[in-house]
Amino acid sequence: MPFTIDGSWVPSKPASENIKPVKVRLVKRGKSILTVILNLNKPEKELLDLASLLKKKLGSGGALKEETIEIQGDKVNEVLKLLKELGIKAS
């Protein structure tokens, strides 16, 4: 609804602000199993710090590739729990 009760106009949000929800998925690449975290809308420095923190907490390897964090192994439940503790809503 573009108007408030007093009649003032409220502009709608631009399409560029459509924020996708953060997703945690299990992906199989060849013989490898990866936990992939998608749609993190953060600067590259924050993504690197988050990837580093997750790898340390989980005791696992991983990488940051094109704004996607990849963690080695089936760690979906652990990643969801850690993201929740950090205040990031994920599914």
Does residue 53 form part of some domain?
A: yes
Does residue 91 form part of some domain?
A: no
- Please report the pLDDT score of residue 14 as a whole number: 58
Does residue 4 form part of some domain?
A: no
Does residue 5 form part of some domain?
A: no
Does residue 15 form part of some domain?
A: no
Domain residues for the domain of 44 are 20-85
Does residue 90 form part of some domain?
A: no
The number of residues in the chain equals 91
Does residue 30 form part of some domain?
A: yes
The reported pTM is 0.76
- Please report the pLDDT score of residue 49 as a whole number: 94
Q: What is the CATH number of the domain that holds 52?
A: 3.30.780.10
Total number of domains in the chain: 1
Does residue 54 form part of some domain?
A: yes
- Please report the pLDDT score of residue 20 as a whole number: 79
* Residues 19, 41 contacting (CB under 8 angstroms): yes
Walking along the chain (91 residues) 10 residues at a time, the average pLDDT comes out as 64 60 93 94 93 95 93 95 92 89
- Please report the pLDDT score of residue 48 as a whole number: 95
| Long-range own/partner contacts, residues 68-72 (CB < 8 A, 24 or more apart) | 68/36, 68/37, 68/38, 68/40, 69/36, 69/37, 69/40, 70/27, 70/34, 70/35, 70/36, 70/37, 71/34, 71/35, 71/36, 71/37, 72/32, 72/33, 72/34, 72/35
Q: What number of other Cβ atoms are within 10 A of residue 69's Cβ?
A: 23
